[in-house]
Structure 1
Amino acid sequence: MTEHTARLAAIQGDYLRDAAGPHDRQLMNMVEGEMQNREWYERIERETVGHAYHPLSQAGQHRMAYNSAWSAAERNTIEQVIELMREWDTDRCEMTVTLYAAWNDFILEGRPVTD
């Protein structure tokens, strides 16, 4: 959702319509691998459902890469989406991005969109 909202053309995700919402596993594997290679964060499985990220020795150093990767306008939009969803649980986030993707698909296909 953030990729589309902030028009982050550099990402070029290829999203599958998954039960948990639009998902690009190959993109996520690349991102998570790079975070671990740079010793920023590693993906860990939760005891219940899903996963989380554990900070590694260089945690926080990702901010310099983030600031150089995106323009101020792009960062502003990314941060607005994060702040909007910060307090939401995973289910609410997944439902929202799934609805957003379906709505966007209808627009792209020229189909009517209503409440």
Structure 2
Amino acid sequence: MSVVDTFRIYKKGGTKVVEGTSPLSITGIAANTQVAKGDYQTTRLVNDVESMKVDIPAFKTLAEQEPETSGFDPEGDVKPTNANTVEEIKAWLTAHEIDYTGKTLKPDLLALVPA
């Protein structure tokens, strides 16, 4: 039986932000923000025993990304493919009055597109 390491990330001050297996992501920090060493700390859990907190090194969040515009027209005659996003496929299905209730995965949505 393999052991899965569990980690926790805390904000300075002790509020737990996230817990799980590596890699973990810290969310909710504005784009292009400089975060100082020690603003966040991490611990490792082994057999429900938590290690000492270790400072996460300083980092800067990514600059805000411009949404990609694919030029895909959901109202048009060109049918969506696997290259389209889930949101684009849903927009096409909606525009063509095809019900996709309960479908969330790309392959399931694409299966609704008529051949």
TM-score, length-normalised on structure 1? 0.18
Greater percentage in strand: 2
- Based on CA coordinates, which of the two structures has the bigger radius of gyration? 2
Greater percentage in helix: 1
